Amino acid sequence: MEEKFIARKKILTSEIPVTGDSISLSFYDHAEIDGDSIALFMNGKLMYQHVLLKAEPFSFKLAVTDLAAENEMIMVAENLDPFHPTPR
């Protein structure tokens, strides 16, 4: 999975200012439930791997005190080839 993370071009989709004591993140398949899985990286380190996306969200919280001043969350589709971005 780390190879896919390194090989993929990073595309910034949004910056999210954080206020409060924690941030809650949820990931789900909003289209066809077809076995898509993802890996999540926070600041370059693998946090979760083989997360199967379903109609119900995969959710977790991060404490703001555990975060740096600026953070980078990257989601990598595990079932996409890094050089041919179509589902396998």
- The domain ranges of the chain are 2-14+37-87
SS3 call for 62: strand
- Would you say the pTM of this structure is higher than 0.85? no
Would strands 73-77 and 45-52 be described as parallel, antiparallel, or unpaired? unpaired
pLDDT in tens, 22-60: 999 999 987 788 889 999 999 989 999 999 999 999 999
Residue 30: its H or E element: none
